Chains A and B, each alone.
Chain A
């Protein structure tokens, strides 16, 4: 009898909590059913039938930049994904980009970087200490390439599969001493008026009194965003019908599930490009495959492959747009490698690959860069991660970069 009462109580509580999350405040939160799919199922991914490199662009004019970051994606993650999805003779879409380089990832105070210091290098062009976003080690704030592009009149966007206030997307539009100050990051990102922000993470945008909120105050940043002109979206239907030039799409508390019915990273990137491409002056868009890192912290090769392939689908969307547009540069890289992954054996068809992980943390290994589009050739070679946004700045005609903020 006790067991029945206990079971009924659990069922009632679950229904009540679900109902509150789904319908408690229909204007601000929406919860997807959580689909637990087999992470080794990569049937969603269609490998390229053409393995030849994409053509070298004739144009030298860079109007738009799409910067794709695979968090934790080293060469072995790319190779494992290629072997699993396309076999040893196949290629990922990112591997068809004609120019390839390597970048060094150390931070100002550690050989092994974290995502905060790494994104500060990739966004601001400066080295900083692990844990810091958008500031030098002495806490001087530096302009990000997104902010500099915006000052040039370009539209800007951030798309990720983590919460929007997680280190990598946050590093392009906020400046804080600690990456853990997520509530403040949310405020700064909104104040920065990034045109498109599509990810998870509504818990830092809702007031403390709202169920699931992680704020310590009663600010409702979603209502503030709406007042500032943003269209707030939470469902695939809202995503496809959204028309505004300012989009805030927070599809989950925390990270995206990366499972249906949620929009895929590729669909989010496609929508972002559609919105940002409205203006003649061009745009800067960052697209992050956030959960490659997470799978590698778990030393879970199946999920690492799945997340890398989801990222590669988004890269394909960027390339397809760039092929048509002719003035869009697409650059793919990682902030660091995670897991110290190697592939000591396997078969040529990729049906079986042996993997070996040397750490549950990040590693200091160089990470690959793939580039396609006008001036992509300048991304060949081996250089520091801080050089990447400096190259972007030159291509956008931004005169002073890196630049301290007052």
Chain B
């Protein structure tokens, strides 16, 4: 099973949680309008396997597994 790691700035809360089946293009969090934030929608489909906060980068690290 392939896994993809997605990094998302943690200023705004996530709209996904562990175990969710997610779709490519789904909104990942509220907009923060950050100058350095690119990701607002999910780039892949799959199942959210884990979510962890990384303080050093101030990001949520989201692991998504391929559901195929």
Interface residues of A, Cβ cutoff 8 Å to B: 107, 109-110, 112-116, 129-132, 162-163, 166-167, 177-180, 254-255, 290-291, 293-294, 297-298, 359-362
Contact = CB atoms under 8 A, between A and B. Distances in A.
Interface of B: 9-14, 29-37, 53, 55-58, 60
A362 B10 CA distance: 8
Contact of B33 (A109, A162, A298): A109
Nearest to A139: B35
Contacts of A116: 34-36
Contact of A130 (B13, B32, B55, B56): B32
Nearest to B51: A360
Given A167-B58, A254-B56, A297-B53, A361 B33 contact: no
14 contacts: A112-B12, A114-B9, A114-B34, A116-B34, A129-B34, A131-B34, A162-B56, A163-B56, A290-B55, A291-B55, A294-B53, A297-B53, A298-B53, A360-B60
Contacts of A294: 53, 55
B29 to A, nearest CB: 7
A107 B35 CA distance: 12
Nearest to B37: A131
A290 B14 CA distance: 22
A107 B55 CA distance: 21
B13 to A, nearest CB: 4
Contacts of A114: 9, 11, 32, 34, 58
B41 to A, nearest CB: 17
A210 B66 CA distance: 36
Nearest to B53: A297
A162 B36 contact: no
Contact of B14 (A109, A129, A360): A360
A59 B57 CA distance: 43
A220 to B, nearest CB: 21
Contact of B37 (A115, A130, A177, A255): A130
A38 to B, nearest CB: 19
Among A110, A177, A254, chain B packs the most CB atoms within 10 A around the CB of A110
A323 B36 CA distance: 42
Contacts of A107: 33
Given A129-B34, A131-B35, A131-B36, A361 B11 contact: yes
A255 B53 CA distance: 14
A298 B54 CA distance: 9
B36 A361 contact: no
A119 B9 CA distance: 17
B13 A360 contact: yes
A294 B52 CA distance: 11
Contacts of A360: 10, 13-14, 53, 60
A170 to B, nearest CB: 12
Contacts of B56: 162-163, 166, 254-255
Among B12, B29, B37, chain A packs the most CB atoms within 10 A around the CB of B12
Contacts of B32: 110, 112, 114, 130
A353 B49 CA distance: 31
Nearest to B17: A360
Given A166-B58, A359-B13, A361-B10, 10 more contacts: A112-B11, A129-B33, A130-B11, A178-B36, A255-B56, A294-B55, A359-B12, A360-B60, A361-B11, A361-B14
Contacts of A131: 34-37
A239 to B, nearest CB: 22
A130 B11 CA distance: 9
